[in-house]
A and B are shown apart, each in its own frame.
Chain A
Amino acid sequence: MASFATFHLAGSRPLRPPFPTPTMTVLRPPSRSLFLSFPSLNAVEIKADPSVATTEFDFKGFLLKKAESVNRALDLAIPVIHPKRIHEAMRYSLLAGGKRIRPVLCIAACEIVGGDEAQAIPPACAVEMIHTMSLIHDDLPCMDDDDLRRGMPSCHRAYGESVAVLAGDALLALAFQHLVDLRNYPSSIAIPPAILVRATAELARCIGTEGLVAGQLLDMESTGLEDPVDIDRLEFIHLHKTAALLEASVVIGAVVGGGSDSEVERLRRYARCIGLLFQVVDDILDVTKSSQELGKTAAKDLASNKTTYPKLLGLEKSREFADELLRDAKSQIEGFDSLKAAPLLHLANYIAYRQN
C-alpha cells in the first residue's frame, strides 16, 4: 500500500513467486471492517476471524502443550551446578513463565514444513534463552532500569547487577551451545550438521548488530528525546528489537525442519510482519485500553513521551496498517498445508486481536 511505503522490510531477500493455488483461503477483498472491529474482539476467541472459523483447531490447547514441552526442555537445559548463583539467576529469569511465543513459533515453523516437534525443541529453547537474556540486560539500570519483570523483581534486583550481566552473557552463550549440540536432538531424526550451521548463522545475525542489538540501541537513543522519532526510525526499532528475534525463531525452526529456501523466505516475511504487527497493536492498545484491561499502566507511552504509531499516523491509520500487516503475514502461509498452517495463522490472529 502506497501510504505505508516505509514498510519495506529492510534487508529481506526478494521473495520467490507466490506458491501455486492457495488451498485454504479465498482472497478476501481488502476489508476495513476487520480492523475496525478488532479492538472489541477477544484475544483468544479466534472464531471471530472469518478465515479460520471453519477449522477445528484448538489454539489455546496448542499454545499450552507446546509451551509445556519447551518449559520441560528449558528446565533440563540449566541444572543448578557450580557456580550455583549464576545458574540460579539464569533459571530465575528463564523459568519465570511467559507465553513462550518465540519457541512456539519455532516449533510451529518446523512443523509447517514437515518437521517434527522434537527436532525443533533445541532451537526453540535457544530463542527463548536469547529472549530472556535480552530482557535481563534490558532491565539493567544502565538501560531501561526496570525493577519488575512479570510481577517479580527483575534479575538484577534479585541477584545484583553483576550477576545479571553475567547471567545474560551466559544465556546468550548457552543458546548457541544448546543449538549446535547434536546430542540435544532426537536420535531417531538425523539432522544434517550443515543445517545446524545455517541455523547458527541465522540466529547470530538476527540478534547482533543487524538485529536485536541494533533495535535496542536505537530504542535507547530515542528515549527521552524532545521530538518524536520519524516513522522510518520507529519502524527500524520495531523491526529489529521485536521482529528480528521472531524472524530467527521462525527461520531456524523451518531450517531445522528441512524447509526449502522458498518456504524459509516466506516464513521470514511472515515473522517480520507479525513482529511489526505486535508493536503496532501494542501502541494501539496503549491508547485505547484502560490500565485495568491491560494489566499494566495504560497511556504509559503518552506519559513517557514515547513515539508510537497512533502518534505518528493517527489511530485510524495505525489500525489500517495493522490490518495490512496481518493480511501480509497470512498471505505468506497460504501455500502451506492448511492443517499444518493453522498454528501460525492463529498466532498471527492472536497477536492482532489480543486485548492486553
Chain B
Amino acid sequence: MAFSSTVFLYPNFPLRSPSSQITKPRHQSFPIRCSESIADRPPMSSPFDLRSYWTSMISHIEADLDAAIPIAYPDRIYESMRYSVLSNGAKRAPPIMCIAACELVGGDRSIALPTASALEMVHTASLIHDDLPCMDSAQLRRGRPSNHAVFGVGLAVLTGDALFPLAFSHVVGHTPASLVPPQAILRVIGEIARTVGSTGMAAGQMFDLLPEYGGEQEDVIVVLEKKFGEMAECSAVCGGLLGGADEEELERLRRYGRAVGVLYEVVDDVLMEEDKGVGGNGRSGKMRSNASVVRALGKGRAMEIVEELREKAKEELKGFGDKYGERVLPLYSFVDYAVDRGFKLESHVTAVAGDSAPYSP
C-alpha cells in the first residue's frame, strides 16, 4: 500500500544503528503490527508522505520562529533565545502535531502556525531550565553547548523566563482574529500554561528530581506522561481548538496526543537501551528523564506498553477517519513513525540532527 511503502518502507524497530535507518531494514525483534494495523486505517486514494509533510512544515515553523525573535536591545537576551529556539537539529514535533490537528478538523495551517511556534518556545524554555546546573546539569544539548554553558546560568534562567511570555504574546498577537474566536485563544493560552505548569511538565521535572521516583511502573509512566505526554497532548488539543473541533473531538485529541507522546518516549527508551551511549544525552534534543521504562520494568513489558499505546492512539483516531477521511493520515502516520522511525529527517536545519524524539525538539 502506498502509505506504508512511502513512509514506512522499512519497519525497522528496534534499531541497532541509527545511522543506517533508511538504507538497511533491520531485523524485527518483536512483532511489528504495522501490516495488521493497516486494516484499521481509513481507505486512502493517495499516498501520504510523512517525511515531506514534516519537512515542508519545518521550514514554515522556523521562518515564523525566526521572525518572532528579532535581535533587539538588549541583544544578549535575544541572541540567547535564538541560540536555543533556532537550534539545529530540532524536529519541531509539537508544532507539527498542532498544525496537523488543526488541519484535521478543517482549519487552515496559517491559523495554527503562531500557536505551533509558541509550543516550540515554551518547550525550549523548559529544556533550557532543565539543563541548568541545579537541575540536570547538562553541558550539551543537540550536540552543542547548552544555553547556560554559552550565556551563563543567570542569562539562561532569564532566557527561559522570557520565552514563556513571548509564546503567549505570539499566540495572541499573530493568530488571525477574524478566523479564531477569542474564546479559543483563551483556551489555547490556558492549555499551554497548564501544560508547562505545576501539574504538567514542571511536575514531571519535579518527580524526576526525587530519588524515590522511577522504580514503580506507575511512577515511571507518570513521569513520562508529565514530561512528554502532556506536551504532545497540548499540541494536539491546541490544534483542534484553533481548527474548531467540538468538545468530544478535543477529548479524543487529548487522549491521542498523550498516548503518542508517551509512546515515542518508551520506544526511545528501548532504542537507547539497545544502543547504549549512542543517541544519548549529548546528542539528544529531548528532555532527559531519569525514569527509564526498560530499566524499571524490563524490555518485555516496555514493548507491551508500546503496543498498548499504539493501539490506544489509533483507536482514538478511528472516529476522525470516518468523518474526515484522508485528513486523518498525518496523525495516523505519527503513531507508526513513533514506533518504526522509518526515516530520518533531512532539512536545511536538521542537517546535524541527533536522533532525537519528535516530542522533544
Q: Which residues of A contact B (CB under 8 A)?
A: 78, 81-83, 85-87, 90, 133-134, 137, 140, 142-143, 160-163, 165-170, 172-177, 180-182, 192-194, 196-197, 200-201, 203-205, 207-209, 213-214, 216-218, 220-221
Contacts and interface: CB of A to CB of B under 8 A. Distances in A.
Nearest to B125: A169
Chain B: interface residue count, which band?
35 or more
Contacts of A142: 152-154, 156-157
B169 A208 contact: yes
A128 B210 CA distance: 29
Contacts of B164: 169, 172-173
Contact of A193 (B157, B182, B194): B182
A313 to B, nearest CB: 23
B233 to A, nearest CB: 15
A176 B155 contact: no
B198 A204 contact: no
B193 A201 contact: no
A180 B190 contact: yes
A137 B161 contact: yes
Contact of B165 (A86, A143, A194, A204): A204
A170 B197 contact: yes
B57 interface: no
24 contacts: A85-B206, A86-B202, A142-B157, A162-B135, A162-B205, A163-B209, A165-B134, A165-B135, A166-B198, A172-B164, A173-B197, A175-B193, A176-B190, A177-B193, A197-B185, A200-B186, A201-B168, A201-B169, A201-B172, A205-B165, A213-B158, A217-B76, A220-B154, A220-B158
Given A162-B209, A170-B197, A217 B173 contact: no
B134 A161 contact: yes
Interface string B194-206: 1011111011011
A217 to B, nearest CB: 5
A125 B210 CA distance: 30
B320 interface: no
A221 B129 CA distance: 20
A203 B171 CA distance: 13
B335 interface: no
A129 to B, nearest CB: 11
Contacts of B50: none
B349 interface: no
A137 B128 CA distance: 14
Given A142-B154, A194-B182, A197-B185, A170 B202 contact: yes
A174 B157 contact: no
A252 to B, nearest CB: 13
B77 interface: yes
Contacts of A161: 134
Contacts of A167: 198
Interface in B162-187: 162, 164-166, 168-169, 172-173, 181-183, 185-187
A209 B199 contact: no
Nearest to A206: B165
Given A85-B206, A86-B203, A205 B160 contact: no
A177 B203 contact: no
B39 to A, nearest CB: 40
Residue among A140, A160, A200 with the highest chain B CB neighbour number at 10 A: A200
Contacts of A82: 199, 203
B1 interface: no
Given A193-B185, A193-B186, A201-B173, 15 more contacts: A83-B206, A87-B198, A137-B161, A140-B157, A169-B126, A173-B197, A176-B192, A182-B186, A194-B182, A200-B189, A204-B165, A207-B165, A208-B165, A209-B162, A217-B155
A200 B160 contact: no
Contacts of B203: 82-83, 86
Contact of A165 (B157, B165, B168, B182): B157
Contacts of B77: 209, 213-214, 217
Contact of B129 (A165, A204, A217): A165
Interface in B70-109: 72-74, 76-78, 81
B343 interface: no
A269 B153 CA distance: 34
Contact of A177 (B76, B181, B182, B190): B190
B10 interface: no
Given A165-B132, A200-B168, A208-B165, A181 B153 contact: no
B172 A200 contact: yes
B264 interface: no
> Which 7 pairs, one residue from A and one from B, show the smallest C-beta to C-beta distance?
A161-B134, A173-B197, A142-B153, A177-B193, A170-B198, A193-B182, A208-B165
B13 interface: no
A199 B166 CA distance: 14
B74 A216 contact: no
Contacts of B158: 137, 213, 216-217, 220
Nearest to A179: B189
Residue among A163, A174, A196, A209 with the highest chain B CB neighbour number at 10 A: A209
Contact of B157 (A81, A137, A177): A137
B207 interface: yes
Contacts of A182: 186
B202 to A, nearest CB: 5
A180 B162 contact: no
A180 B182 CA distance: 11
Nearest to B226: A83
B184 to A, nearest CB: 9
Nearest to B189: A180
Contacts of A169: 125-126, 129, 160-161, 164, 196-197, 202
Nearest to B69: A209
B60 to A, nearest CB: 23
Contact of A209 (B78, B132, B152, B185): B78
B212 to A, nearest CB: 12
Nearest to A196: B186
Interface string B206-221: 1101100000000000
